[in-house]
Amino acid sequence: MTDTTPLQILVYSDDVDTRQQVILALGRRPHPDLPEFEYVEVATEPVVIQHLDAGNIALAILDGEAVPAGGMGIAKQLKDEIFECPPVLVLIGRPQDAWLATWSRAEAAVSHPIDPIELSTAVVDLLRSRTPVR
């Protein structure tokens, strides 16, 4: 990977406003050690699975409050079925739901409403652990 190759970040939610909040909170390049982000917005479970099966996704951000398929159930399925699944961050409805995020095998969880600093910190930590630093 070169510095010019953007990282593909999948953002799943049935709510377009939630997807936009995530994208606006993170921006194009939330940390200088990471390449720019290119977002893949997804509103349905089958398309999430299709993108993760195809590869090239560096991180999946899944809305745990999405319907009819919640992000935590999708995270569990991805971790069970996809070889070398990229890191997963789930958006949870309240901090008390963190145990469900652990059950789903997501590497991180951030609660609604989305705090841009908390989300950016979690995303950068996940990606820096997997992405070579310049």
What residue ranges do the domains of the chain occupy?
Answer: 7-128
DSSP structure string for 67-78: SSS-HHHHHHHH
Are 63 and 71 in contact by the 8 Å Cβ rule? The answer is yes
Spell out the per-residue pLDDT of the chain, length 134, in tens. Answer: 445 799 999 999 999 999 999 999 999 999 999 999 999 999 999 999 999 999 999 999 999 999 999 999 999 999 999 999 999 999 999 888 888 888 999 999 999 999 999 999 999 999 987 755 44
What is the second-level CATH architecture of the domain 7-128?
Answer: 3-Layer(aba) Sandwich (3.40)
CA neighbours closer than 13 Å in the CB half-sphere of residue 58? 22
* Maximum distance among all Cα pairs of the chain, rounded to whole angstroms: 40
